[in-house]
Amino acid sequence: MLIGCGSVSGTRTDAGASGGSDAAGDAAREDDAVVVTQAALFGGMVGGRAGNIDIVSSLADGSVLASGKTDGDGRATIRVRAGGSVTAIYRHTVDLGADLITWTAVSPGDTLTFGNRNFATTGQSDTSIGTATYSWPAFSGASQYKVWTSCNTTGLGTQAPATSLTAAEFPACHEQPMTVGFSALDANNTLIGFGVVVSSAAFQNGATIQLPAWSPPATASITLTGLPSEISVVTGGFRAVIDGRFDINPGLAYQGAVTGGAFTASFPVSQLGVRTLGAATLNRTGFRSIQIFDALSLGAVAQTIAAPALPPWSQNGTTASAGLRKATWVLEPSAASVYDGQALHMTWLHTTAGVPNASQWDILVPPGVSAVDFPALPAALADAGPAADDRIVATTRVFEIPSINGYATLRTMPSAHPMCLDCAVRTGDFPRVVFTQL
């Protein structure tokens, strides 16, 4: 069981106490951890402080040690015990659900930063703000065209000879300035042209966004060596990183068999956005695939991966029980397995007065663990967690971050990094991450 303990700076309320608090500014005790709560809900600014968030510290056996709230600046100290956990509870503003984030295997003296980069939009009003028409010049040899926006990150497609399409924009995903990516693909789904338009003007319903001209793709290459013998196929490509929230994959890149632990391929790539994300997927028959994401500079045309350190393989999904308050998963580690941590993600719906409310819980755990007992919550906060009859959907991601040294170092970073590893590569916080697919 990996559950912890804590208290909050400025307004500490320990379990079993009647609500007494330490004076703001008092020095932290030797068994304290510092807590920082950053935004985790839709409408917040990524990395911005979120105050008045409930925090709960648990012992290693899952029982509550202390609870309280962060102050208006999102800071607190909380009493902890080695091997315990600290949980931040973000109550939704649009429904009765909550987002919970837990650091497990904590230690006195930690500074634990909570927050998210990939805000859930469940329950948010998302009435269309209107439509835009995207148009482009005809491209010789094109079989289809695609358009990407922050609201259409998988791409909107239309067959040639059409040279325009119309799509809706929504407030939950729309961004200003508005970046629009275009690609022209041949009959083999190969990229033959690309373009980008960045509009700083406020979005207007019925507007037309015109690509003035196409640019030819560059030729990129991928080289992998020293792969384990069990890897049979490699797939992947270069994605254009628009910002920390999304990237686009303009065309089919590469796919092929591994020979003698090596793989190489050349493929066309776009040159747009703020950087390039090199994404290689390693496939093993009967197992979940492992992905390697590299943050490359804009204009990079080569990705080299030599004898990559890989986390354990996994054949099965994650099982979670609200009644047992436990999640389990199965890993197949080898002598060569290397990983810094694991991220358990759980979602559930709880119906109150006939209305279903969505909640989620992210629990960060160290290597060597394949089961987690949910931390207990104080009675006043228990409704934030899953009820015994709620059905939980759970996934676990196992990850290696070559630029850091283990779980102790990971705990010094915002929870938003391991909770959205691809985001952390898009923004350049990590130059490389290696993780199992969900």
**Burial bucket for residue 206 (CB in 10 Å: 0-12, 13-18, 19+):** exposed
pLDDT tens string, the chain, 438 residues long: the values are: 333 333 344 444 443 322 333 323 344 577 999 999 999 998 889 999 999 999 999 999 999 999 999 999 999 999 999 999 999 999 999 899 999 999 999 999 999 999 999 888 877 777 899 999 999 999 999 999 999 998 888 899 999 999 999 999 998 888 888 999 999 999 999 999 999 999 888 899 999 999 999 999 999 999 999 999 999 999 999 999 987 778 888 776 899 999 999 999 999 999 888 999 999 999 999 999 999 999 999 999 999 999 999 999 998 899 999 999 999 999 998 899 999 999 999 999 999 999 999 999 999 999 999 999 999 999 999 999 999 999 999 999 999 999 999 999 999 999 999 999 999 999 999 999 999 987
Domains of the chain: 1-126+314-398 (no CATH), 130-210 (2.60.40)
Residue 169 and residue 181: Cα distance in Å, rounded?
Answer: 15
- How high is the pLDDT of residue 171? 87
Look at the chain and count its residues: 438
Residue 399 and residue 338: Cα distance in Å, rounded?
Answer: 9
Residue 414 and residue 409: Cα distance in Å, rounded?
Answer: 11
Nearest to 340 by CA among 291, 411, 277, 429: 411
CA atoms within 13 A on the CB side of 385: 24
- How high is the pLDDT of residue 28? 55
Q: What residue type is 4 in one-letter code?
A: G
**Burial bucket for residue 389 (CB in 10 Å: 0-12, 13-18, 19+):** exposed
DSSP 382: G
Residue 23 and residue 193: Cα distance in Å, rounded?
Answer: 63
Cis-peptide into 356, omega within 30 deg: no
Residue 76 DSSP SS3: strand
**Pairing between β-strand 32-37 and β-strand 111-114 as defined by DSSP bridges:** parallel
**Pairing between β-strand 85-91 and β-strand 98-103 as defined by DSSP bridges:** antiparallel
Quickly list DSSP for 309-359.
--PPB--S--EEETTTTEEE---B--TT---SEEEEEEEEEEEETTEEEEE
End-to-end alpha carbon distance in the chain:
22
Residue 91 CB partners (closer than 8 Å, separation 6+): 54, 98, 384
Residue 65 and residue 81: Cα distance in Å, rounded?
Answer: 9
Residue 79 and residue 216: Cα distance in Å, rounded?
Answer: 58
* Two tokens, residue 400: 């290696």
- How high is the pLDDT of residue 419? 97
In angstroms, how far apart are the furthest CA atoms of the chain?
Answer: 75
Residue 23 CB partners (closer than 8 Å, separation 6+): none
Residue 246 and residue 263: Cα distance in Å, rounded?
Answer: 28
Quickly list DSSP for 243-275.
SSS-EE--SB-EEEE-BTTBEEEEEEE---SSE
Contact criterion met (CB below 8 Å) for 417 and 430: yes
* Two tokens, residue 20: 């007494």
Rounded to 5 degrees, φ, ψ at 184 are -115, 130
Contact criterion met (CB below 8 Å) for 408 and 380: no
Contact criterion met (CB below 8 Å) for 396 and 343: yes
Q: What residue type is 210 in one-letter code?
A: Q
Nearest to 357 by CA among 91, 101, 5: 91
Q: Give the position of tokens 């207990």.
A: 376
DSSP 60: T
